[in-house]
């Protein structure tokens, strides 16, 4: 974690099995921001979301890493979300 860099996380990461009746999951891209007190970092609101199927999780994570690198270099995707 580094201030002003971007990261990603998903609330329902695939664990090998389908979660209930759902076959998809998503990850949100956010920016690490300094806390107002100056100690530590906090997450910004999600800037971009990537959705995909449990059986294609690595492609979703690979695209999330690409999008984080885009944001870190000053570029930004044209849309707010995408599906894999």
**What does the pLDDT look like over 44-83, one tens digit per residue?**
999 999 999 888 889 999 999 999 999 999 998 999 999 9
Say which DSSP state 66 is in: H
- What is the extent of the structural domain holding 65? 6-83
Nearest to residue 56, comparing CAs of 20, 79, 27?
Answer: 27
Nearest to residue 70, comparing CAs of 13, 53, 78?
Answer: 78
Number of folded domains in the chain? 1
Q: What is the pTM of this model?
A: 0.85
Token pair for 66: 């690409």
Q: Does the residue 1 lie in any domain?
A: no
Q: Does the residue 66 lie in any domain?
A: yes
C-alpha Rg value of the chain to the nearest Å: 14
């Amino acid at each position: 974690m580094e201030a002003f860099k971007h990261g990603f996380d998903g609330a329902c990461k695939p664990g090998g099995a389908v979660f209930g009746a759902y076959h998809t999951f998503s990850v949100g891209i956010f920016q690490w921001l300094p806390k107002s007190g100056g100690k530590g970092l906090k997450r910004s609101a999600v800037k971009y979301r990537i959705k995909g199927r449990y059986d294609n999780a690595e492609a979703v994570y690979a695209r999330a890493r690409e999008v984080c690198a885009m944001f870190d270099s000053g570029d930004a995707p044209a849309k707010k979300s995408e599906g894999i």
